[in-house]
Amino acid sequence: MSTNDLKRLAPASDEAARRATDGLVARASEDGLVDVALATMDSPVGELLVAVTRKGLVTVSFEDEPRDEVVARLARRVSPRVLEAAAPTDAARRELEEYFEARRHAFDLGIDRRLIGEFAWSVLRATSRVGFGELATYGQIAQRIHRPNAARAVGRALGSNPITIVIPCHRIVGAGGSLTGYAGGLPRKQTLLRLEGSLP
């Protein structure tokens, strides 16, 4: 068999392997063997990694966070049964797409908070009440959780938010309205706030 013959066979072989993999993933999902499903999606702020469990959305992370670190954290703190499987993430990815197209102003997704500590959860819960197109300061969030002197701790909690965008830590700004302290970087924060009409 010639080299050209092998090249012609390779795409079919690759396609067969892809179908087999898809079939295994679907079967694993149906049999309840996938505790954490992962998929990626394109967005105006770069590629996002979306992870869901049966309880809900557990992670939305930016592309500059190493994927193997995200997967290792999920395996360690949620379940070792982590698998790339797009279908379980469809609802989350669809709502994110609608958000980026300015057709969605609030998310209707369940949240799996197993990557979020108790104090951080109180901060992120208060942050979730800051609506589309609105801003709040770190100090205001500290007041809302009845910890008026904890603005810095609020900032640290927001910096560790594992469910970026959906839990909108990008809407929290410094006391004078300065765009500080976004784990995804200030250009992403600016992009999100412009999308929401909070920045010119």
User: Which active-site residues does the annotation give?
Assistant: 169
| CA end-to-end span of the chain | 63
Report CA-CA distances (Å) from 41 to 30, 47, 62, 90, 96. 23, 6, 10, 10, 9
Could you count the other beta carbons within 10 Å of the beta carbon of residue 187?
12
Please enumerate in sequence order all residues whose Cβ is within 8 A of that of 162, keeping only pairs 6 or more positions apart, or say none. Answer: 58, 59, 60, 61, 115, 116
Report CA-CA distances (Å) from 122 to 82, 118, 133. 27, 6, 22
